[in-house]
Amino acid sequence: MKNIIDIEIVVPNQTRYLSMIGKIGENVARELDRFKGDREALAHHLNVVLTEGVVNAIKHANAADPNKEIKIRISASNQEICIKIYDSGQGFDLTNVPDPSFESDQLGEKGRGIFIIRSLMDSVEYKKNNGGNVLEMKKKLG
């Protein structure tokens, strides 16, 4: 499966770069001209999952240390889009987050980011990688 687009971004561990990273995701979606679905909705969803994934890395994995870095890789083919977000910190437990769609957790203030990522992507994994971790999110486009 040949990637049409393969982008790697490295930014400091700071939330000020969220808007820029989200916009790159939107622009990638708009370039996928063989995608038959709603391209503007896909653009929004990529902006959202990139924002949520990077915020998780900044706050929970890299413990908000502004001297650390975050690496993001966006790969897109006609069949699939894959986003990887690398952190260099302690990580977090992807399975141990409340589900805000349950009524009891609906007014909680945590766990909504991971819930949103899981809702918008087809697969989400968080794995150890070279002393840090990688959040891997995939979405089928076919």
Partner 1 sequence: MQLKIEVNGAVRIIYVKEERLDAHNSDELKAELNRLFDSGTKDLLIDLKEVRFIDSSGLGVLVSGFKNASARQGSFKLSGLQSQVKSMFELTRLHRVFDIFQTVDDALESY
- Judged by beta carbon, residue 4 or residue 41, the one nearer partner 1 is 41
Single residue of 79, 90, 106, 123 touching partner 1 by CB under 8 A: 106
Lay out the site mask for partner 1 across 1-20 (x = CB under 8 A, - = otherwise): --------------xx-xx-
- Judged by beta carbon, residue 5 or residue 55, the one nearer partner 1 is 55
CA distance 1 to 38: 23
CA dihedral 94, 106, 122, 92 (to 10 degrees): -10
Single residue of 5, 24, 94, 116 touching partner 1 by CB under 8 A: 116
Burial (CB < 10 A; 0-12, 13-18, 19+), residue 13, is buried
Least Å from the CB of residue 11 to partner 1: 12
Per-residue tokens: 8: 């790697």
Q: What Cα–Cα distance (Å) separates residue 20 from each residue in 54, 91, 130?
A: 12, 24, 26
- Judged by beta carbon, residue 2 or residue 16, the one nearer partner 1 is 16
Per-residue tokens: 111: 């766990």
CA distance 11 to 16: 10
Residues making contact with partner 1 (CB under 8 A): 15-16, 18-19, 22, 41, 44, 47-48, 51-52, 55, 58-59, 100-101, 106-110, 112-113, 115-116, 119-120
